[in-house]
Structure 1
Amino acid sequence: MSIHEKASPLSLVGEPVAPAPEKLERPRYAVYEHPRTIEGKTYKAGTWYHGLKQSGPEEKAIPVDHWICTPLTVEAETVNSEDGTIGRLLSFSHRGRRIEWVMPMEALAGKGDEVMKVLLGRGLVIEHHQRRQIVPYLASHQSPNLVIATTTKPGWHESGAFVLPSRVIGGDNVRFQDSGKAANIFTCKGSINGWQTEIATRCLGNPVLILSVCCALAGPLLAKVGVNGGGVHLVGDSSSGKSLAQLLAASVWGNPGNFAASWDVSKGGVEIEAASRNDTVLILDEIKRADPKRVQEMAYAIANGTGKGTMTREREGRAKLTWRVLALSSGERSLSDHAAIGGSNAHAGAELRMVDVNAGNRTHRAFDEVHGMTGQEFHRTLNDAVAQNYGHVGPAFVESLIKQPEDLHSAFRHERQAFGTESSQAGRVADRFAIMALAGELAIRRKLINWPEGTATKACRLLFNEWLSTMGDGNAEDRQILRGIANFIDLHGDSRFSELRHSGTTTVHNRAGYYEVECGARLYLFNNPGLAEAAIGFNLKRIVRALQGADALAKVDIEAGQKRSNKSYVMPGGGKSRFYVIDPVKLDHEGAGQ
Structure 2
Amino acid sequence: MSTHEKASTLSLVGDPAAPAPEKLERPRYAVYENHRTIEGRTYKPGTWYHGLKQSGPDEKAIPVDHWICAPLNVEAETANSEDGTIGRLLSFSHRGRRIEWVMPMEALAGKGDEVLKVLMGRGLVIEHHQRRQIVPYLASHQAPELVIATTTKPGWHESGAFVLPSRVIGGENVRFQDSGRAANIFTDKGSISGWQTEIATRCLGNPVLILSVCCALAGPLLAKVGVNGGGVHLVGDSSSGKSLAQLLAASVWGNPGSFAASWDVSKGGVEIEAASRNDTVLILDEIKRADPKRVQEMAYAIANGMGKGTMTREREGRAKLTWRVLALSSGERSLSDHAAIGGSGAHAGAELRMVDVNAGTRTHRAFDDVHGLTGQDFHRVVNDAVAQHYGHVGPAFVESLIQKPEDLHSAFRQVREAFGTESSQAGRVADRFAIMALAGESAIRRNLLNWPKGTAIKACRLLFNEWLLTTGDGNAEDRQILRGLADFIALHGDSRFSDVRAEHANLTVRERAGFYEVDDDKRLYLFNTPALLEAASGFGKERILRALLGASAIVKVDEEAKGSRRTKKYRTPGGGSSRFYVIDPERLENEG
| In the alignment, structure 1 residue 148 sits paired with structure 2 residue 148 | yes
Task: Check conservation: 1:11, 1:30, Cα contact below 8 A.
Answer: no
Q: How does 1:81-480 map to 2 (within 5 A)?
A: 81-480=81-480
Which amino acid letter does the alignment assign opposite residue 57 of structure 2?
A: P
Q: Aligned AA for 2:566?
A: S
2:26 corresponds in structure 1 to 26
> Aligned residue for 2:559?
558
Native 8 Å contact 1:211 1:459 kept in 2: yes
- Give the whole-Å Cα distance in 2 for the aligned partners of 1:589 and 1:152: 49
The Cα of 1:57 is off from its aligned counterpart by 2.0
Distance 1:310 1:562 in 2: 47
Shift of 1:539: 1.1
What's the CA shift for 1:551? 0.8
Q: In 2, Cα distance between the equivalents of 1:174 and 1:503?
A: 83
Q: 1:525: which partner in 2?
A: 526
| Structure 2 contact 478–591 (Cα < 8 Å) conserved | no
Residues 71-95 of structure 1 show CA distances to partners (whole Å, capped at 9, x for unaligned) of: 0000000000111110000000000
Unaligned stretches of 5+ in structure 1?
Answer: 1-9
Aligned: 1:576 with 2:574: no
| Count of residues paired in the alignment | 582
Q: Following the alignment from structure 1 to structure 2, what is the Cα–Cα distance between the partners of residues 571 and 37? A: 109
What is the CA-CA distance between 1:39 and the residue it aligns to?
A: 1.4
Contact map agreement 2:557 2:567 (CA 8 A) in 1 = yes
- DSSP 3-state at the match of 1:487: helix
SS where residue 427 of structure 1 aligns? helix
Deviation track 1:308-348 (CA, whole Å, cap 9, x = no partner) reads 00000011000000000000000000000000011101000
Q: Residues 50 and 65 of structure 1 are in contact (CA less than 8 Å); yes or no, is this contact kept in structure 2?
A: yes
Secondary structure of the structure 1 residue equivalent to 2:26: coil
Question: For the Cα contact (< 8 Å) 2:498–2:515, is it kept in 1?
Answer: yes
For the 8 Å contact 2:236–2:366, the answer to whether it is kept is: yes
- 1:111 alignment partner AA: K
Letter in 2 for 1:525: L
User: What amino acid maps onto 1:235 in structure 2?
Assistant: V
Tell me how far apart the structure 1 counterparts of residues 443 and 246 of structure 2 sit (CA, whole Å): 19
Answer whether contact 2:32 2:44 (CA < 8 A) is retained: yes
Code of the residue aligned with 1:12 in structure 2: it is L
CA 1:367–1:61 in structure 2 vs 1: closer, same or farther (change >3 Å)?
same
What amino acid is the match of 1:500?
V
Change (3 A) 1:366 1:356: same
CA contact (8 A) 1:15 1:142 kept: no
State the alpha-carbon separation in 1 of the partners of residues 206 and 22 from structure 2. Answer: 73
1:138-186 per-residue CA deviation (whole Å, 9 max, x = no partner) reads 1110000000000000000000000000000000100000001100000
Contact 2:568 2:582 in 1 (8 A): yes
Say whether the 8 Å CA contact 1:557–1:563 is kept in structure 2.
Answer: no
Say whether the 8 Å CA contact 1:261–1:285 is kept in structure 2: yes
- Structure 1 residue 55: Cα displacement: 1.6
**In structure 1, distance between residues paired with 2:503 and 2:147:** 83
Aligned to 2:3: none
Residue 381 of structure 1 aligns to a residue whose secondary structure is helix
User: Following TM superposition, by how much is the alpha carbon of 1:560 offset from its aligned partner in structure 2, in angstroms?
Assistant: 8.4
For residue 42 of structure 1, what is the aligned residue in structure 2? 42
How far off is 1:63 after superposition? Answer: 1.2
Amino acid at match of 2:45: A
Distance of 1:237 and 1:565 partners within structure 2: 45
Q: How far apart, CA to CA, are the structure 2 residues paired with 1:348 and 1:19?
A: 73
Q: 1:573 Cα shift?
A: 2.4
Cα distance change on mapping 1:412 and 1:503 into 2, 3 Å? farther
Q: Flag the 1:563–1:186 CA change in 2: closer, same or farther, 3 A.
A: closer
CA contact (8 A) 1:558 1:564 kept: no
Are residues 103 and 528 of structure 1, via their aligned partners in 2, closer, same or farther at CA, if it must alter by over 3 Å?
Answer: same
SS at match of 1:483: helix
* One-letter amino acid matched to 1:514: F
Q: In structure 2, what is the Cα distance between the partners aligned to 1:198 and 1:118? A: 38
CA distance in 1, matches of 2:343, 2:564: 37
TM-score (norm. length: structure 2)? 0.97
Task: Report the AA paired with residue 546 of structure 2.
Answer: R
SS in 2 for 1:180: coil
Is residue 154–residue 279 contact of structure 1 (8 Å, CA) maintained in 2? yes
Query: Contact 1:11–1:29 (CA<8 Å) still a contact in 2?
Result: no
AA of the residue aligned to 2:462: L
Compared CA separation, residues 355 and 503, structure 1 to 2 (3 A): farther
Stretch of structure 1 that moved more, 582-591 or 479-488: 582-591
Deviation at 1:234, TM superposition (A): 0.4
SS at match of 1:504: coil
Q: Which moved more, 1:207-216 or 1:492-501?
A: 492-501
Write the distance in 1 (CA, Å) between the matches of 2:470 and 2:297. 23
Distance in 2, matches of 1:376 and 1:37, equals 68
Q: Residue deviations 1:230-281, cap 9 Å, x none? A: 0000000111000000000000000000000000000000000000000000
Quick one: percent identity of the two aligned structures?
85
Distance 1:428 1:585 in 2: 29
The one-letter code sitting in structure 2 at the alignment partner of 1:317 is G
Q: Deviations over 1:425-444 (max 9, x none)?
A: 00000000000000000000
TM-fit CA distance, 1:11: 9.0
Question: Take 1:357 and 1:566, find their aligned partners in 2: how far apart are those partners?
Answer: 40
Which aligned pairs between 1:485-524 and structure 2 lie closer than 5 A? 485-502=485-502, 504=504, 506-507=506-507, 508-524=509-525
Check 1:292–1:485 CA distance in 2 against 1; reply closer, same or farther (3 A cut): same
User: Which residue number in structure 1 is paired with residue 484 of structure 2?
Assistant: 484
- Cα distance in 2 for partners of 1:582, 1:172 equals 66
Asked if the contact 1:557/1:564 (under 8 Å) is kept, the reply is no
Distance 2:562 2:348 in 1: 35
Q: Equivalents in 2 of 1:60, 1:409: separation in Å?
A: 75
> Is 1:348–1:480's contact at 8 Å kept on the other side of the alignment?
yes
| Structure 1 residues 361 and 32: CA distance shift in structure 2, 3 A | same
- Larger displacement relative to structure 2 (407-416 or 518-527): 518-527
Cα distance in structure 1, aligned partners of 2:166 and 2:572: 76
In structure 1, what is the Cα distance between the partners aligned to 2:541 and 2:406?
Answer: 50
Worse-matched range after superposition: 10-19 or 189-198: 10-19
Q: Deviations over 1:415-473 (max 9, x none)?
A: 10000001100000000000000000000000000000100000000000000011111
Residues 244 and 383, structure 2, Cα contact 8 Å, conserved in 1: yes
Structure 2 contact 504–573 (Cα < 8 Å) conserved: yes
Distance, in Å, in 2 between the alignment partners of 1:488 and 1:498 is 15
The CA deviation at 1:574 is 2.6
How far the C-alpha of 1:564 sits from its partner, in A, is: 4.9
Q: Per the alignment, in what secondary structure is the counterpart of residue 502 of structure 1?
A: coil
1:548-580 superposed Cα distances (whole Å, 9 cap, x missing partner): 101111111112885851111122323221111
Q: Is the 8 A contact 2:14 2:32 kept in 1?
A: no
Q: What is the CA–CA distance in structure 2 between the aligned matches of 1:409 and 1:126, rounded to whole Å?
A: 53
Q: 2:11 touches 2:30 (CA, 8 Å); kept in 1?
A: no
Q: Where does residue 12 of structure 1 map in the other structure?
A: 10
3-state SS of 1:589 partner: coil
8 A contact 1:228–1:304 mirrored in 2: yes
Conservation of the 8 A alpha-carbon contact between 2:219 and 2:324: yes
CA contact (8 A) 1:360 1:366 kept: yes
Q: More displaced, 17-26 or 371-380? A: 17-26
Pair 1:548-2:546 in alignment: no
Amino acid at match of 1:531: L
Distance in 2 (CA, whole Å) between partners of 1:323 and 1:206 is: 30
Shift of 1:64: 1.1
**Would you say the 8 A contact 2:263–2:284 is kept in 1?**
yes
Q: Does structure 2 conserve the Cα–Cα contact (< 8 Å) formed by 1:93 and 1:124?
A: yes
- CA displacement 1:530-559 (0-9 Å, x = unmatched): 111110111111111101101111111112
